[in-house]
Structure 1
Amino acid sequence: MKGIAYLGPPGTYSHEAATIWGRLAGQDLFLACLDLPEALATVRDGRAGAAVLPVENSIEGAVNLTLDLVLETPELQVVGEVVLPIHHCLLSRADNLATIREVWSHPQALAQCRHYLAQKLPGVAIRPATSTAAAASQAQQRPDLAAIASTFAAGLYQVPVVATGIEDYPDNKTRFWILGQEALQHPGPYKTSLVVAAVANRPGSLYAILKDFAEAGINLTRIESRPTKKELGDYLFFIDCEGKATDSPLKDVLAGLKNKTSLLLVLGSYPCDGGAGHDR
């Protein structure tokens, strides 16, 4: 039975997203990986059936490494998504806040809890960790240390939750792509992810692509530019839109775009997750 690969160690938000996808896919075997390239490699070499990769965060924006890796791995497709609300917690074995000497977490999590740290733990040493899960592991070992991590990590490492919802932006969410070779059958609604490049760098070239979606009444949910790494000003565009690539009207729009683009790649059509983890 092939598992689901994710960016480890156990207890990360990626691990939590993997467990959500696992419930949908009927899978309970999970493989912690050192980095995102390794997570994809486990799927390519058959050690895992799917990999969970973060693709965007509502605060930090796109995860550029994921976008680049997906382009480098055309044999895999986006077969699903998980939108995970990110609620940071303060975890510690300390008796009270006054006995906490250090706070550890991933740099992004520390930055996202800046106001709480300034108000509740002024003067406490802030230490970067490789992940929120690694910080939770440290907090389990040292009672004078606190970690910023999830309740998922707190349960896994058996560290008490001192405070919940300490993030500066309560609506923080991370969207994860599920990369695999076999799509999960789901009634939908569906979303499709594409990569396009204009035929030439000339005025109106991007508009010529986007107007077809508008005229067909297809909603674009995201558009992100990435350099081709060839020339300055030479870009690819990652587009998410509503609908399934094999169904009209999106099917007809994609057929019409073949003569308007130098690159048109369908990364995958997959069931939407509106943020509730597919009714988890």
Structure 2
Amino acid sequence: MKGIAYLGPQGTYSHEAATIWGRLTGQDLFLACPDLPEVLAAVRDSRAVAAVLPVENSIEGAVNLTLDLILETPELQVTGEVVLPIHHCLISRAGNLAAIKEVWSHPQALAQCRHYLAQNLPGVAIKPTTSTAAAASQAQQRPDLAAIASTFAAGLYQVPLVATEIEDYPDNKTRFWILGQGTPKLPGPYKTSLVVAAVANRPGSLYAILKDFAEAGINLTRIESRPTKQELGEYLFFIDCEGKATDSPLKDVLAGLKNRTSLLLVLGSYTCNGGADYER
């Protein structure tokens, strides 16, 4: 049986997002992959039924590699999304803060807990790792070491929680796209993701595209630009908007844009945040 591919190792936030998607769609098999290109390749090569990729973080912004990889894999569609609250925890077998000699984690997690570390573990050695899960694995083996990871990873690696929700920004969230070849039937509301490019790089070219959405009363929830990688100053625009691409008024807007854009690619229409307020 085929599972859901995610960026490994076990215990990453991507793994947690994959388990949430699995609960929503009735799947309980998962495939850890070493990098994002391999996550997509697992679905493309029929080793997995879906791929989970981080697309944006509320603090760090867009995951540009994910956006680029999606353009390189047009045979796959965005079939869903999971918005995961990111709560960093300090986990260790040390028993107390005074016994901790080193703190390990992914550089992003370390940066997002900078104030906590400065106030509670001044002078303790900080070491970056390839993932929060890799840090949790090390904390399982060494009692003098602490890791910054999720409660999901702490439970998986059976490392005690020393402190919870130590992130500097309490509303930190990561949005994951689910990619595959079939959109599951989940309740709405719906969202559509697409990529557009203006016919020419001239004043008002982006406005000429966006005004159609405004005039139709369609809310845009995200706009992200990426270089075309062909000419300096030329950009593609990733747009998320409310509604389904096959339903009016969005259907009519997209039809009108076909002759006024050099590229119009619908990445997928899917249920917002899995269509559920899931329990973590």
State the partner residue of 2:155. 155
Q: Which residue of 1 aligns with 2:188?
A: 188
Match for 1:195: what amino acid?
Answer: V
**In angstroms, what is the RMSD of aligned CA positions?**
1.0
Q: What secondary structure sits across from 2:143 in the alignment?
A: coil
Contact kept in structure 2, 1:76 and 1:180, CA below 8 Å: yes
Q: How much does 1:124 deviate?
A: 0.2
Q: Deviations over 1:107-141 (max 9, x none)?
A: 00000000000000000000000000000000000
Paired with 2:99 and 2:187, the residues of 1 have a C-alpha distance of: 52
Contact 1:4 1:51 in 2 (8 A): yes
CA contact (8 A) 2:193 2:268 kept: yes
CA drift of 1:273 comes to: 1.2
**1:10 corresponds to which letter in structure 2?**
Q
- CA deviation map 1:128-184 (0-9, x unaligned): 000000000000000000000000000000000000000000000000000000101
Q: Does 1:245 align with 2:250?
A: no
Structure-2 residue corresponding to 1:279? 278
How many angstroms apart in 1 are the aligned matches of 2:233 and 2:21?
A: 37
Aligned partners of 2:95 and 2:162 also within 8 Å: no
Structure 1 match to 2:199: 199
Query: How does 1:121-140 map onto structure 2 within 5 Å?
Result: 121-140=121-140
Determine the C-alpha separation between the residues in 2 that align with 1:215 and 1:64.
Answer: 30
- Measure, in 1, the Cα distance between the counterparts of 2:273 and 2:248: 21
Please tell me the residue identity of whatever aligns with 1:279. Answer: Y
CA offsets per residue over residues 15-56 of structure 1, 9 Å max, x none? 000000001110000000000000000000100000000000
For 1:125 and 1:233, the matched residues in 2 are separated by 43
Provide the rounded CA distance (Å) in 2 between the counterparts of 1:232 and 1:257. Answer: 24
- Aligned: 1:98 with 2:98: yes
Contact in 2 for aligned 1:83/1:277 (Cα 8 Å): no
Question: CA, structure 1 residues 277+138, in 2 after alignment: closer, same or farther (shift >3 Å)?
Answer: farther
In 2 relative to 1, CA 142–47 (structure 1 residues): closer, same or farther, beyond 3 Å? same
CA distance in 2, matches of 1:195, 1:109: 30
Task: Give CA-to-partner distance per residue, 1:76-95, whole Å, 9 cap, x none.
Answer: 00000000000000000002
Determine the structure 1 residue equivalent to 2:7.
7
TM-score, normalising length: structure 1: 0.98
Residue 146 (structure 1) aligns with:
146
Cα deviation for residue 278 of structure 1 reads 4.1
Alpha-carbon separation, structure 2, partners of 1:194 and 1:124: 46
Other structure's SS at 1:16 match: helix
Structure 1 residue runs of 5 or longer lacking an equivalent are none
In 2, are the aligned partners of 1:58 and 1:174 still within 8 Å (CA)?
Answer: yes
Check the 8 A contact 2:223/2:237 in 1, yes or no: yes
Distance in structure 2 (CA, Å) of the matches to 1:108 and 1:193: 26
Moved beyond 4 Å, runs of 4+: none
AA in 1 matched with 2:278: D
TM-score under structure 2 length normalisation: 0.98
Q: Which amino acid aligns with 2:8?
A: G
